[in-house]
Amino acid sequence: MPQLSKLLRYGVVGVIGAVSHMSTLFLLVEFDVAGPVVATTAGFLAALLISYGMNRIWTFGFTGSYWASLLKYCIVSLIGLGLNILIIKLFTDYLGLWYGWGAFFAVGAVALNNFVLNNAWTFTQKAPSR
């Protein structure tokens, strides 16, 4: 599958993941099921699993090990979180800019970073051994 097609699908899955995260957050908080921290954690986990499944099947068409690729996907997501934190820190503490500009920049940078890592590492099929 051409890379642009994969990237576009990855973007669609990202939007679906964001909607599932926010929906879970707001529903749990507004119905007094959980506080915001617990609710956003649940939303993050729901989005992670939904995004993983959709990316595995639809974006990358991966047929390799479920558990190994899930672990790699989680590692890539944590790297993305670290990059997000670094970008926010850079924009606010070092450049003296509004955190929102950092967040807007981070969304794109983290999405691109995670796409590259997932494409190159998480969802790469091993060549058959001879």
Q: Is the pLDDT of residue 130 over 80?
A: no
- How far apart are the C-alpha atoms of 87 and 38, rounded to whole Å? 24
pLDDT digits (tens, 9 = 90+) for 87-122: 999 999 999 999 999 999 999 999 999 999 999 999
- How far apart are the C-alpha atoms of 97 and 31, rounded to whole Å? 36
Q: Is the pLDDT of residue 63 over 90?
A: yes
Question: If you write DSSP's letter for every residue of the chain in order, what string do you get?
Answer: --HHHHHHHHHHHHHHHHHHHHHHHHHHHHTTSS-HHHHHHHHHHHHHHHHHHHIIIIIS---S-HHHHHHHHHHHHHHHHHHHHHHHHIIIIIS---HHHHHHHHHHHHHHHHHHHIIIIITPPPPPP-
Interior angle at CA 100, CA 90 and CA 31, nearest 5: 125
> pTM for the complete prediction?
0.89
* Residue 15: both structure tokens together: 């939007």
Task: Please tell me the predicted confidence (pLDDT) of residue 18.
Answer: 94
pLDDT digits (tens, 9 = 90+) for 11-20: 999 999 999 9
Cβ neighbour number for residue 6 with a 10 Å cutoff? 19
Reading phi first (left if > 0) and then psi (alpha if -120 to 50, else beta), residue 7 is in alpha
pLDDT digits (tens, 9 = 90+) for 107-116: 999 999 999 9
Residue ranges per domain, the chain?
A: 1-63, 64-123
